[in-house]
């Protein structure tokens, strides 16, 4: 989250409707990239305040999909997280 090239890549993906996925504390990267304002997300409860302060709309769920953003809370949510990623990628490929 401190490497500008990474943040630029996340900004570019978000701006072009490409998949931006984060699980657990990974949400800090899109927060730092400034792409979560008005986006429904979940993540580790430890960064809930950070997500909300960045303008995200917090939900406590195994996976949250908001357009091209896919988020999950913890490793136990990986099956739902990966299924959602495949769904989003399939939709992107079909577009």
Please say if 24 is a catalytic residue.
yes
Please say if 16 is a catalytic residue.
no
Q: Return d(Cα 40, Cα 37) in angstroms, integer.
A: 9
Q: Pick the catalytic residue: 16, 25, 68, 69? A: 25
Taking CA 2 as the corner, what is the angle to CA 32 and CA 89, rounded to the nearest 5 degrees? Answer: 60
Q: Return d(Cα 26, Cα 41) in angstroms, integer.
A: 12
Q: How many C-beta neighbours within 10 Å does residue 36 have?
A: 27
Q: Pick the catalytic residue: 16, 24, 68, 69? A: 24
Catalytic site residues? 24-25
């Amino acid at each position: 989250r401190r490497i500008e090239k990474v943040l630029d890549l996340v900004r570019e993906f978000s701006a072009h409707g490409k998949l931006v996925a984060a699980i657990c504390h990974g949400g800090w990267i899109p927060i730092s990239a400034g792409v979560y304002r008005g986006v429904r997300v979940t993540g580790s409860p430890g960064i809930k305040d950070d997500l909300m302060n960045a303008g995200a709309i917090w939900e406590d769920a195994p996976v949250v999909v908001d357009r091209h953003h896919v988020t999950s809370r913890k490793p136990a949510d990986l099956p739902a997280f990966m299924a959602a990623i495949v769904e989003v990628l399939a939709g992107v490929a079909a577009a």
